[in-house]
């Protein structure tokens, strides 16, 4: 009875093998294809991944080393998110040509803008090489041989299941990628940090690039002689729409998940690490926001910094909420205890849970010290540029920089376990009497030019302490794959789990390799009695529109379109009114790196571009809960509407295949 209850409990909480969880390796997708087809998918495993013929994988790229993009024309046209193209758009922006604010639309190929240091990678193939490595071939040999196959090839070896399997990934990299179009930020970043990680959402988070190649269609460094790349495959776009419950699939490059970490590590994240990091950032954001509100110049100066601090800050809050609400720690603990009972008489596994627990107990304090150091002292500027120091909006006494020094130095002193406080820091505090007095000295010296003994010696101290902690813990993450001890334990643990829990569908943690996730268009119960529908529309943008609030101030052209209801072919009937669809929710398992990923329907046609998750979904990096975990995509019909009616760039639509 006990066992049955427990099993039911863990099944309910972790939902192994259940709906929609998982990021699957495309070369092994045949193991999931029956389930996919049962959920509505109409294509085959070969359509998704093939090394013999063009397949969907040939229309997906790793964009700029951290996002995903998809090909939508025979001439190398590529879609990704606005926030993924942001750096490129920003670098081309000047006061006269402020593409971030006003948008950018290349009118001819000649107007498409080259980008230094921006590349895309196609996956040529992936293969398991566990046996080759065991037989004595070295990783270096395998990589060198793969890269020698063709110019532009890059190879890497990635572990799956904590080293139980090794895979070779061979990519073709293109370095001439040009900016074609971007909507104004008031569309591409609509809702800003206020709406970030939030549903209902109304962000037109897309930008457009084009891949260029040599005349023989091979990777080439930028040259005016390069021509648009002719991909093996590009996606057809569907404007037919969809309904809740319809099949969806996401093909992209998820960056990092830790689905198999022990309950101790989850408890550490939800109870100790996230709350501390959130509190530290609360203070930083408050100081920055106050400065931003006091002066429009400061608002611009701190915009990017505020956005990047706020993104993870908000993510952690949602993660903690989700983990608490869903009782993830208790569920995982029960699951581990059951496993440990099964493992009692199995020498290979019987000490592994206890071993992991002991290891976490050993490394938690220094690991916490490392995280606190990175969030506080290491996040302070080592020096200021002369331009920064001369800016008249940095009044010497009241500068937010000075306040940030006081806050971050203070938080370090309060939170970092004393055993792992930097000796130079302790000396500094002793010398100047108080933490605050020392913080003031540090700020003054940093402000005055940096090259001074005091802040330099602290910088060295930070480096030395971080190295020491890494040496001591043997890891830079809670699931580190290069550390010896932790990884050795996890290799056995995950192998044991697979032997024990034969009902569960195991998939390897995300590691920035190409994956397939599938699910359905799905709303969810946000709170008791409060269901969130999976689709937003232009009407919702207009309802949020407010010229007084920066994040909600839309272009006049969009207001005019709404007033005239002149939506042309992009208008649809939703709930009895004519409108334009904007964003939608689905139940695909995604994470950071999946931004820009194609969202595909049952026929493999493009219906949206993935860009975010709902707030409490962010727990899916640790445990996927099908009742609340949802990804957020911009509806392709809104993308086309903006290209056509805001960008007046219908020539771009002509090279796409739109159904």
Residue 248 in the binding site for ligand ASP (CB under 6 A): no
Choose the contact partner of 593 out of ligand ASP, ligand ARG, none; CB within 5 to 8 A by kind.
ligand ASP
Residue 307 in the binding site for ligand ARG (CB under 6 A): yes
Cβ atoms of residues 640 and 570 within 8 Å: yes
**Residue 195 CB contacts under 8 Å (≥ 6 apart), including other chains:** 201, 202, 203, 551
Residue 12 in the binding site for ligand ARG (CB under 6 A): no
The rounded radius of gyration (Å) of the Cα atoms in the chain is 26
DSSP state of 539: H
Least Cβ distance, residue 610 to ligand ASP (angstroms)? 7
Residue 196 in the binding site for ligand ARG (CB under 6 A): yes
Residue 281 in the binding site for ligand ARG (CB under 6 A): no
Residue nearest to ligand ASP (CB): 595
Least Cβ distance, residue 189 to ligand ARG (angstroms)? 6
Spatial distance between the Cα atoms of 634 and 205, rounded to a whole number of angstroms? 7
Chain centre distance of CA 396: 37
Residue 591 in the binding site for ligand ASP (CB under 6 A): yes
Catalytic site residue from 205, 264, 612, 635: 205
Catalytic site residue from 595, 597, 617, 620: 595
Choose the contact partner of 590 out of ligand ASP, ligand ARG, none; CB within 5 to 8 A by kind.
ligand ASP
Nearer to ligand ARG, 17 or 303 (CB): 303
Q: Which of 39, 57, 83, 637 lies at the binding interface for ligand ARG (CB under 6 A)?
A: 83
Residue 593 in the binding site for ligand ASP (CB under 6 A): yes
Residue 85 in the binding site for ligand ARG (CB under 6 A): no
Residue 203: closest CA among 213, 182, 189, 215: 189
**Residue 648 CB contacts under 8 Å (≥ 6 apart), including other chains:** 105
Catalytic site residue from 82, 83, 202, 589: 83
Q: Catalytic site residue 501?
A: no
Q: Which of 173, 236, 311, 457 lies at the binding interface for ligand ARG (CB under 6 A)?
A: 311
Angle at CA of residue 509, ends 508 and 513, nearest 5°:
85
3-state helix, strand and coil shares in percent for the chain, rounded to the nearest 5: 45, 20, 35
Residue 612 in the binding site for ligand ASP (CB under 6 A): yes
3-class DSSP assignment, residue 73: strand
* Three-state SS annotation for 182-217: ECCHHHHCCCHHHHCCCCCCCCCCCEEEEEEECCCC
Angle at CA of residue 495, ends 492 and 501, nearest 5°:
130
Q: Catalytic site residue 455?
A: no
Binding part of the chain for ligand ARG, among 138-146, 190-198, 250-258, 477-485 by CB under 6 A, reads 190-198
Cβ atoms of residues 182 and 208 within 8 Å: yes
Cβ atoms of residues 655 and 71 within 8 Å: no
Q: Catalytic site residue 205?
A: yes
- Site residues for ligand ARG, 51-70, by CB under 6 A, read none
584: tokens are: 């939608």
Residue 590 in the binding site for ligand ASP (CB under 6 A): yes
Angle at CA of residue 303, ends 299 and 306, nearest 5°:
110
Residue 612 in the binding site for ligand ARG (CB under 6 A): yes
Choose the contact partner of 591 out of ligand ARG, ligand ASP, none; CB within 5 to 8 A by kind.
ligand ASP
Spatial distance between the Cα atoms of 651 and 208, rounded to a whole number of angstroms? 13
Residue 115 in the binding site for ligand ASP (CB under 6 A): no
Residue 595 in the binding site for ligand ASP (CB under 6 A): yes
Spatial distance between the Cα atoms of 540 and 559, rounded to a whole number of angstroms? 12
Q: Which of 190, 197, 349, 447 lies at the binding interface for ligand ARG (CB under 6 A)?
A: 197
Would you please indicate which residues are annotated as catalytic (active-site) residues? Answer: 83, 205, 595
- Rule CB under 6 A: which residues touch ligand ASP? 590-595, 611-613
- Rule CB under 6 A: which residues touch ligand ARG? 83, 192-193, 196-197, 307, 311, 592, 595, 612
């Amino acid at each position: 009875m006990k066992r049955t209850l427990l099993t039911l409990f863990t099944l309910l909480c972790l939902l192994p093998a259940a709906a929609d969880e998982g990021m699957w390796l495309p070369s092994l997708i045949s193991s999931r294809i029956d389930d996919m087809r049962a959920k509505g998918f109409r294509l085959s495993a070969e359509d998704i991944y093939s090394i013999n013929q063009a397949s969907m994988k040939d229309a997906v790229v790793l964009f700029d080393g951290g996002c995903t993009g998809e090909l939508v024309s025979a001439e190398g046209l590529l879609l990704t998110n606005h926030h993924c193209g942001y750096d490129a758009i920003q670098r081309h922006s000047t006061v006269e040509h402020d593409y971030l604010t006003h948008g950018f639309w290349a009118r001819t190929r000649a107007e498409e803008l080259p980008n230094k240091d921006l590349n895309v990678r196609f996956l040529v193939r992936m293969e398991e090489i566990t046996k080759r490595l065991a037989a004595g071939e070295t990783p270096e040999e395998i990589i060198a041989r793969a890269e020698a196959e063709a110019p532009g090839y890059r190879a890497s070896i990635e572990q799956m299941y904590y080293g139980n399997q090794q895979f070779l990934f061979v990519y073709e990299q293109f370095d001439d990628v040009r900016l074609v179009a971007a909507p104004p930020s008031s569309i591409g970043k609509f809702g800003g940090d206020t709406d970030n990680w939030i549903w209902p959402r109304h962000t037109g988070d897309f930008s457009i690039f084009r891949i260029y190649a040599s005349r023989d269609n091979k990777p080439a460094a930028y040259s005016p002689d390069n021509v648009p790349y002719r991909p093996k495959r590009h996606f057809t776009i569907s404007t037919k729409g969809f309904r809740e419950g319809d099949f969806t699939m996401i093909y992209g490059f998820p960056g990092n998940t830790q689905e198999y970490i022990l309950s101790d590590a989850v408890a550490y994240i939800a109870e100790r690490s996230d709350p501390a990091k959130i509190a530290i950032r609360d203070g930083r954001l408050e100081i920055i926001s106050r400065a931003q509100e006091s002066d429009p110049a400061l608002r611009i100066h701190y915009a990017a910094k505020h956005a990047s601090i706020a993104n993870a800050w908000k993510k952690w809050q949602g993660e903690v909420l989700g983990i608490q609400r869903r009782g993830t720690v208790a569920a995982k603990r029960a699951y581990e205890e059951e496993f440990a009972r099964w493992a009692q008489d199995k020498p290979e596994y019987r000490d592994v849970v206890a071993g992991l627990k002991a290891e976490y107990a050993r490394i938690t304090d220094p690991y916490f010290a490392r995280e606190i150091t990175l969030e506080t002292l290491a996040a302070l500027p080592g020096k200021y540029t002369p331009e920064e120091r001369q800016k008249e909006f940095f009044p010497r006494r009241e500068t937010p920089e000075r306040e940030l020094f006081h806050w971050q130095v203070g938080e370090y002193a309060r939170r970092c376990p004393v055993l792992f406080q930097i000796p130079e820091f302790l000396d500094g505090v002793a010398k100047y009497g108080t933490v605050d007095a020392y913080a003031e000295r540090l700020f003054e010296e940093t402000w005055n030019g940096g090259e001074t003994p005091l802040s330099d010696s602290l910088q060295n101290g930070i480096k030395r302490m971080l190295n020491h902690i890494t040496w001591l813990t043997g890891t830079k993450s809670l699931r580190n794959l290069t550390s010896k001890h932790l990884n050795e334990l996890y290799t056995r643990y995950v192998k044991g789990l697979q032997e024990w829990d034969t009902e569960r569908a195991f998939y390897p943690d995300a590691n920035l390799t190409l994956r397939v996730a599938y699910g359905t268009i799905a709303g969810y119960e946000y709170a008791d009695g409060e269901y969130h529908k999976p689709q937003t529309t232009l009407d919702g943008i207009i309802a949020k529109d407010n010229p007084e609030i920066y994040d909600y101030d839309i272009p006049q052209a969009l207001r005019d379109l709404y007033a005239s209801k002149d939506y042309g072919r992009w208008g649809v009937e939703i709930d009895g009114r004519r409108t334009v669809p904007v964003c939608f929710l689905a139940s695909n398992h995604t994470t950071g790196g999946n931004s820009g990923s194609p969202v595909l329907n049952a026929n493999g046609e493009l219906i949206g571009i993935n860009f975010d998750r709902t707030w409490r979904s962010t727990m899916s990096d640790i445990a996927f809960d099908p009742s609340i975990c949802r990804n957020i995509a911009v509806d392709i019909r809104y993308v086309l509407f903006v290209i056509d009616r805001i960008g007046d760039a219908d020539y771009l639509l002509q090279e796409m295949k739109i159904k």
